[in-house]
Structure 1
Amino acid sequence: MTELVYWLDMAGVIVFALSGVILACRSQMDPFGMLVLAAVTGIGGGTLRDLVLGVRPVFWVADPTYLWVILATVGLSVVGFHYIHRLSRVFLPVADAFGLALFTVIGAHKALQLEAPGVVAVLMGLLTGVAGGMMRDLLARRVPMVLRQEVYATASIAGGITYVVLFALEAPWVLTISLALSMTLGLRLAAIHWHLSLPVFAWVEIAPPAPAEGDAGRGDTTSPSVRTKARVRMIRQKRGRSGPGDRHDEE
Structure 2
Amino acid sequence: MTTELHHPAQTLLDKLDGFFVEIDAARQRADIVLTRPPFNIISMPQRDQLRLVFEALDADERVRVIVLRAEGEHFSSGGDIKGFLEASPEHVSKLAWNIAAPARCAKPVIAANQGYCFGVGFEISLACDFRIATDTTQYALPEQKLGQIPGSGGSARLQKMVGITRTKDIVMRSRRISGQQALDWGVATMMVPVEELGRAVDGLVEELVQFSPLAQRTAKKLLNDTEDASLSASIELEGHCYSRLRSSDDFREGVEAFHGKRAPTFRGS
The normalised TM-score by structure 1 is: 0.27
Give the number of the structure whose residues are more often helix, by fraction: 1
Larger relative contact order (Cα-Cα within 8 Å, sequence gap ≥ 6): 1
The normalised TM-score by structure 2 is: 0.25
Give the number of the structure whose residues are more often strand, by fraction: 2
